[in-house]
Amino acid sequence: MRAWAVVETGQPLQEKDWPTPEPKGAEVLVEVTHCGVCHSDLHIWEGGYDLGSRGRLSMQDRGMTLPLVMGHEIAGRVAAMGPDAKGVAVGEAKVVFPWIGCGHCEACAREEDNMCPNPPRTIGIYRQGGYATHVLVPDAKYLVSMDGVEPSVAATYACSGITVHAAIKKLGDLPPDRPVVLVGAGGLGLNAIHMLRALGHRRIVSVDVSAEKLDAAKAAGATETVLASSDGAGTTKAIVAACDGPAPAVIDLVNGSATARFAFDALAKGGKLIQVGLFGGEVTLPLPIMAIRALTLQGSYVGSLADLRAVMGLAKAGKLAALPVTTEPMPQANAVLERLRDGKVTGRVVLRAEAA
pLDDT of 129 over the 90 cut = yes
- Residue among 70, 162, 163, 48 nearest 125 (CA): 70
> What is the tens place of the pLDDT at every residue in 132-145?
999 999 999 999 99
Say how far apart CA 208 and CA 235 lie, in whole Å. 10
Instruction: Return the pLDDT at 347.
Output: 86
* Three-state DSSP state, 227: strand
Residue 306 pLDDT grade (very low, low, confident, very high; cuts 50, 70, 90): very high
pLDDT of 62 over the 90 cut = no
pLDDT of 80 over the 90 cut = yes
The amino acid that residue 59 corresponds to is: M
The architecture of the domain spanning 171-299 is 3-Layer(aba) Sandwich (3.40)
From the options 3.90.180.10, 3.40.50.300, 1.10.600.10, 3.40.309.10, give the CATH code of 2-159+303-352.
Answer: 3.90.180.10
Residue 163 pLDDT grade (very low, low, confident, very high; cuts 50, 70, 90): very high
pLDDT of 131 over the 90 cut = yes
Say how far apart CA 324 and CA 277 lie, in whole Å. 20
Helix-helix angle 305-316:162-169, to 10 degrees: 100
Instruction: Return the pLDDT at 167.
Output: 98
pLDDT of 335 over the 90 cut = yes
pLDDT of 60 over the 90 cut = no
pLDDT of 194 over the 90 cut = yes
Mean pLDDT value across residues 209-233: 97
Instruction: Return the pLDDT at 321.
Output: 95
- Residue among 174, 349, 184 nearest 260 (CA): 184
Q: What percent of the chain has pLDDT over 70?
A: 100
Say how far apart CA 30 and CA 95 lie, in whole Å. 10
* Three-state DSSP state, 85: coil
Residues of the chain with CATH 3.40.50.720: 171-299
Average pLDDT over all residues of the chain: 96
Residues of the chain with CATH 3.90.180.10: 2-159+303-352
Instruction: Return the pLDDT at 59.
Output: 87
Characterize 230-249 residue by residue with b for buried, 16 or more Cβ atoms within 10 angstroms of its Cβ, and e for exposed.
Answer: eebeebbebbbebbeebbbb
The amino acid that residue 157 corresponds to is: Y
pLDDT of 294 over the 90 cut = yes
Residue 82 pLDDT grade (very low, low, confident, very high; cuts 50, 70, 90): very high
pLDDT of 63 over the 90 cut = no
Mean pLDDT value across residues 198-219: 97
Say how far apart CA 83 and CA 63 lie, in whole Å. 30
